[in-house]
A = this chain, B = another copy of it.
Amino acid sequence: MNMTDVALLVIDMQQDFLSPASPLFVAGGPTMVPSLERALKAARFANESIIHVIRQHRVTGIDVDQSRRALFAETGGFLVAGTPGAEELPQLAPAPGDFTVVKTRWSAFFATDLEGLLRRLGAHRLILTGVQTPNCIRATANDALSLDYATVVLSDATASQTEEIQMSNLRDMTAMGVEVMTVSQFEQSLGMQGR
């Protein structure tokens, strides 16, 4: 286990959020994957902690948000544990030493052991990546700030349904105290040159 001040979170980069046929498809997701890969590579290079946060549901949907239970029933379910839709994209999948946290709601902190894990790792600064910006990224950023973590969102390693949604959410998060930076700026902050 690395003791690192920084942890990079890869949030919800699962097939059911990134496949156009899925009811949960995030339109801006697929094109930012290469940029998220770069961020992940930079974090590995710097020996930072890497935490994969994934959303999973039981096959009956008993644990799905009330606001989505009808959709879950109508569509035959999504993000069901053990199904292909719940899997992370293979190019982002955990390497040895990475951590995985499973959640059922938007925030990575909600009813998970993420906070205890971060305390053990000694992390005080979180780098957020993944989908989608207005929901899981923002909810996680909000809890992270409330828990006094220095909180960074990588603007080109996160995504939304539209560019306007992406930009308005980055603006609101900046106003709350989130540091928004690009993957290139993140690489530079680690002493790596941009590509």
Within 8 A of B (CB), among A7-39: none
Are A172 and B177 within 8 A (Cβ)? no
Bound Cα distance from A66 to B68, whole angstroms = 34
Interface residue SS majority, chain A: helix
Which residues of chain B are within 8 angstroms of A106 by Cβ–Cβ distance? 142, 145-146, 176
Task: State whether A135 and B176 are in contact (beta carbons under 8 Å apart), knowing that A65-B148, A142-B142 are contacts in the complex.
Answer: yes
Residues B176 and A172 in contact, CB atoms below 8 Å apart: no
Report the minimum CB–CB distance from A17 to chain B (whole Å). Answer: 14
Contact of A172 among B110, B145, B169 (CB under 8 A): B169
The yes or no answer to A107 lying at the interface (CB within 8 A) is yes
In the complex, whether A105 has a CB less than 8 A from a CB of chain B is yes
Partner of A139, one of B67, B142, B168: B142
Report how far A67 CA is from B146 CA in the complex, Å.
Answer: 9
A1 CB–B CB distance under 8 Å: no
Q: Please, how many angstroms separate the alpha-carbon atoms of A165 and B65 in the complex? A: 26
Query: A146 to nearest B CB, angstroms?
Result: 4
In chain A, residues 144-190, which have Cβ atoms closer than 8 Å to a Cβ of chain B?
A: 145-146, 148, 150, 164-165, 168-169, 171-172, 175-177
- A61 on interface, CB distance cutoff 8 Å: no
What is the CB-to-nearest-CB distance from A103 to chain B, in angstroms, rounded to a whole number?
10
**Docked pose: A59 CA to B135 CA in angstroms:** 34
Known: A134-B172, A139-B142, A165-B172. A150 touches B66 (CB 8 A): yes
Q: Are A68's CB and B177's CB within 8 A? A: yes
| CB proximity of A189 to chain B, nearest CB, Å | 18
Nearest CB in chain B to that of A165: its residue = B172
Task: Give chain B nearest CB distance to A111 CB in angstroms.
Answer: 8
Looking at A105, A106, A143, A172, the one whose CB has the most chain B CB atoms below 10 A away is A172
Given A67-B177, A68-B177, A107:B172 Cβ within 8 A:
no
